[in-house]
Amino acid sequence: MILKGARILVESLLLEGVDTIFAYTGGKVISIFDQLQEFEDRVRLILPRHEQGGTHAADGYARSTGRPGVVIVTSGPGATNTVTGIATAYMDSVPMVVITGQVNLDQIGSDAFQEADVVGITMPITKANFLVRDASEIAYTVKKAFHLATTGRPGPVVIDIPGDVQAQDVSFDYPDTIELRGYKPNMNGHPKQIKSVIGMLKQSRKPLIIAGGGVNLSGATEMVNRLADEKGIPVVCTLMGHGVMPKRSELLLGPIGMHGTLYGNYAVQHADLILALGVRFSDRIVGDGAGFAPKAKLVHVDIDPAEIGKSIKADLPIVGTIQSVLGDLNKADIPVDSEQWIRELVEYRSAHPLVAEDPKNPGGLAPQRLIQLAGEIFPKETIVVTDVGQNQMWAALFFGFSRGRSFLTSGGLGTMGFGLPAAIGAAVGNPDKPVLMISGDGGFQMNLQELATIRRYRLPVKMLVIDNGYLGMVRQWQELLFEKRYAGTVMDDNPDFAALAEVFGIHGRTLRDAKDAQDVLRELAECEGPMLLHAHVSPSANVLPMVPAGKPLEQVVEKI
């Protein structure tokens, strides 16, 4: 069958099962859009208002559904606008395929109109990227891109297609298989290593599981739950590992690291055996590497061998999927003697609880309490999407998550402006689940043009904008380390976000008083369409406890 390159691309995407594409048009992708129009009944095209928004939306779609997000943008500025979104997905190992238009082959390198070296620019932030030089390569490249994006350690892949390649007529034949030399992710942990873990667990009196983003990405939450419950092993998580266990489980001790709970960090520092699952031990988790988990033997399970030993030395490295390793461990009869350890942790926890208030502003509207209330009011299947900053950490600490893929956040890159568009992607991919976006006043203003996208597709996203009049997380650092010199962090002249939502055709409400919080949050949870709640919270609230960067986990600041 002879087809044009643009048509081949679209047919290939359909054969990969793509039914949703986040796309923004332009000169070098018009022909692809034109072809997509013919398949309107099979592919939903979501048009954002900015390519960064579209890319974060595809990311939110992928994180929440487990299916790769697909993005199409034009050459030059269209492509460069996706860079932050691609880097965000790369840092958090999110499967994504980004298709960029490119200037014609003979114009490449000539500073042509809307030319940018996309392959060069995205090289360090993609799992792989390809410039397609002939239409006969399109089908194979698409097959390869989806395979790479979704297997092993997932990640974004870019396909750059020049305009004249899209117009070329060639014969179309979609490959059944591909052969990628040197690319063979190791799926199963070595039987000898599995035997060793079993032995180590039997001897341990203070075992601990650290669940990382890999647990969510690979859909292994149920398996971790089972292991923890059946063997009696307490669980802590990284920012990306939230949702690993039911929030009320006695075994769950919340997040660890810089913005972890006191009891989570205590567990790490006193454990004698740590089973780290899909964790990359970022500096935010480890603090001072030399003092991290000083008493524990470390078993590190990861699909990516490059992660093991990168920042923390593993006593027992296991390269494989969490499913395969936990499948083996769950089958094994392992008596773990951890009763006393669990009792110790429960006691420590009740002596050092999280406090959902701002001690500097008693009776004020504390953002911590607001988020805790939201966690009580919103249905348990809610997907929470945060922005970056204090709002993100308060959501992580106080909302309470019970299922995998229910907490979407930019962990690795820490991208302000992620929340709103990623919530759009989550809503597009999960029409049956409530989606709550929690954002700060600063981050919300980085991509608020996407309110128009919410309106256009009538996506029932609930938005909680936490306005503390500051770029709060940085203000917190200035309070702690720069003698309260609030350089460049004051935002006391924010717009009326509720009125702004109304301008976009979205219901908006304002909250100022703690006593109204319950009612207005209920309205947010129960209203049918999208709604924005602009909450004026206590400006002095801080994320506490916190471990300053590079310090051992014991050096906790409990009061600022």
Ligand X SMILES: Cc1ncc(C[n+]2csc(CCOP(=O)(O)OP(=O)(O)O)c2C)c(N)n1
Interface with ligand X (CB under 6 A): 387-391, 414-417, 440-443, 466, 468, 470-474
C-alpha 410, offset from chain centre: 5
Residue 512 has which token pair?
A: 């100022």
C-alpha 461, offset from chain centre: 17
First to last CA, the chain: 69
CB of 428 to ligand X, least distance (A): 23
Comparison of 215 and 473: residue with beta carbon closer to ligand X: 473
By C-alpha distance, which of 292, 427, 266 is closest to 349? 266
CB of 122 to ligand X, least distance (A): 18
Comparison of 75 and 390: residue with beta carbon closer to ligand X: 390
CB 121 within 8 A of CB 186: no
CB 521 within 8 A of CB 382: no
By C-alpha distance, which of 282, 280, 215, 221 is closest to 247? 221
CB of 69 to ligand X, least distance (A): 20
CB of 170 to ligand X, least distance (A): 41
Comparison of 290 and 487: residue with beta carbon closer to ligand X: 487
Comparison of 225 and 368: residue with beta carbon closer to ligand X: 368
CB of 444 to ligand X, least distance (A): 7
Comparison of 265 and 415: residue with beta carbon closer to ligand X: 415
CB 524 within 8 A of CB 533: yes
CB of 533 to ligand X, least distance (A): 15
Comparison of 11 and 358: residue with beta carbon closer to ligand X: 358
3-state helix, strand, coil in the chain (%, to 5): 40, 15, 40
CB of 313 to ligand X, least distance (A): 30
CB 490 within 8 A of CB 469: yes
DSSP per residue, 246-302: -TT-TTEEEE-STT--HHHHHHHHH-SEEEEES----HHHHSSGGGSSTT-EEEEEE
CB of 471 to ligand X, least distance (A): 4
The answer for residues whose C-beta is within 8 angstroms of residue 503's C-beta and 6 or more apart is none
Comparison of 370 and 388: residue with beta carbon closer to ligand X: 388
Residue 539 has which token pair?
A: 């400006």
Comparison of 113 and 486: residue with beta carbon closer to ligand X: 486
Closest residue to ligand X, Cβ-based? Answer: 440
